[in-house]
Amino acid sequence: LAHNLANWATAIELLAKQPNVAIKFSGFELLMLNSEQQNQCFKHILKHFGMQRVMFASNFPVCQININYNELWQHYRSLCSDDLT
């Protein structure tokens, strides 16, 4: 994904045009993306889907390969603390 974010972003935009589609933000802790790239992905999803059609998930227990469960949810919380209003 890190090398192909442009195609991913286009796919997100196309999916978001479908009013009956919601999206789950998860699994990014397993990819080789830094925090800023994850933040950009989350903001892109939020921009196109809106808060009403985005949810977080943990992929537990697999998510613990790279980060512990509590740190993962704290990271998700930090993504939301920017400026979502």
> pLDDT tens digits for 65-85?
777 778 877 877 887 876 554
Residue 48 has a pLDDT of: 97
DSSP state of 1: -
Whether the Cβ atoms of residue 47 and residue 83 lie closer than 8 Å to each other? no
**Per-residue pLDDT band at 23 (split at 50, 70, 90):** very high
Number of domains forming the structure of the chain: 1
- Residue 45 resides in a domain: yes
pTM for the whole structure: 0.75
Q: What pLDDT, in 10s, does the model give residues 45-64?
A: 999 999 899 988 877 776 67
Min mean pLDDT across 1-10, 35-44, 45-54 is at: 1-10
- Residue 60 resides in a domain: yes
**Per-residue pLDDT band at 30 (split at 50, 70, 90):** low
Helices (H) then strands (E): counts for the chain: 3, 2
- C-alpha–C-alpha distance, residues 11 and 76, integer Å: 22
- Residue 53 resides in a domain: yes
- Residue 19 resides in a domain: yes
Whether the Cβ atoms of residue 52 and residue 16 lie closer than 8 Å to each other? no
Domain range for 16? 2-80
Beta strands in the chain (DSSP E): 23-25, 54-56
- Residue 85 resides in a domain: no
